[in-house]
Amino acid sequence: MSALQRVAIVGPGLIGGSIGLAIRARRPEVEVIAIARSEAGAAAAVARGAATAGSADLQVAVAADLVIVATPLPEMRPVLARLGRILPDTVLVTDVGSVKAPVAGWAQELLPHAQNFLPGHPMAGKAESGLRAAEATLFQGAPWIFTPSSDADRTRFAEVVRLIEALGATPVWMTAAEHDRRVALVSHLAFTVSAAYVAAVKASPGWARAVDIAGPGFRDMVRLAGSDPDLSAAIAQANRTELLDAIGHFEAALKRFRRHLEENTPSIWELFEESKLVHDQWMAG
């Protein structure tokens, strides 16, 4: 397949806008069409330099070689349904959704040319969301996960992968199930624990005066609770089986700390020591 000449980005927010900025910076010969919910949103993407043209009409996607669906997760299904009705067999499609098995299922169900769909997930992000927070370097050094079905023809997506590499990301291949299991552990469990920590502090007597004296460690722990709750809830529901499994692992681990404290033995030290050693290995590796 020849190089991609025209890419449509549906949903030019933090991720979609950053993809547009990165393509414009690294592949200036590629035309980028931002497709937003409103003409104003599309114009903002062009003004920001994240696209060469903009539209509020999904129909313009038919003229692209590749459509990147970068809307929030709850909007992906309706977008895929509409793309399924209009896209010819010649247009490739990928997405950036945080959960992959459900998105792959929607594509199978809704795209007549499902063989053109490559589920994707760049492992990059920021606390801020929206086009304003977008940056061309967001994917520099980040893994970009692809989860094609086992019978997919990967050569079909060679140019998509080359584009992703041009943005500075490293393609990583795995099954959708494997992806969802891993992100439940390192991402979805993390924002759930952070949100639960905020709720726990808020439920405790005298919490306001406690927060007044909190230090940088507290800020680290609550940062993810500041994520978009619509997105967190959508991800948690879409990946609930894996997330519940991860929460189970976490509850068991915390219970070990609690038990050692209740029994008041010096062995609580071993638990902190073990976590410290694991932490140091991860951060070194």
CB 107 within 8 A of CB 80: yes
Using the contact rule CB under 8 A, the part of the chain among 38-46, 85-93, 149-157, 193-201 near a second copy is 193-201
Q: Does 152 bind a second copy (CB under 8 A)?
A: no
Report d(CA 236, CA 248) in Å as an integer: 14
CB 21 within 8 A of CB 49: yes
For residue 39 the two structure tokens come to 């003409």
Report d(CA 227, CA 75) in Å as an integer: 18
Looking at the Cβ atoms of 85 and 279, the one nearer to a second copy is 279
Residue 75 CB, nearest distance to a second copy (Å)? 15
Positions in 233-272 near a second copy (CB under 8 A): 233, 236-237, 240, 243-244, 246-247, 249-254, 256-258, 261-262, 264, 266, 268-269, 271-272
Report d(CA 74, CA 90) in Å as an integer: 26
Positions in 125-144 near a second copy (CB under 8 A): 125-126, 142-143
Looking at the Cβ atoms of 82 and 240, the one nearer to a second copy is 240
Q: Does 178 bind a second copy (CB under 8 A)?
A: yes
Residue 142 CB, nearest distance to a second copy (Å)? 7
Backbone phi, then psi, for 100, in 5-degree steps? -105, -35
Q: Does 216 bind a second copy (CB under 8 A)?
A: yes
Q: Does 209 bind a second copy (CB under 8 A)?
A: yes
Q: Is the dihedral of CA 212, 217, 221, 227 positive or negative?
A: positive
Looking at the Cβ atoms of 155 and 264, the one nearer to a second copy is 264
Report d(CA 143, CA 26) in Å as an integer: 18
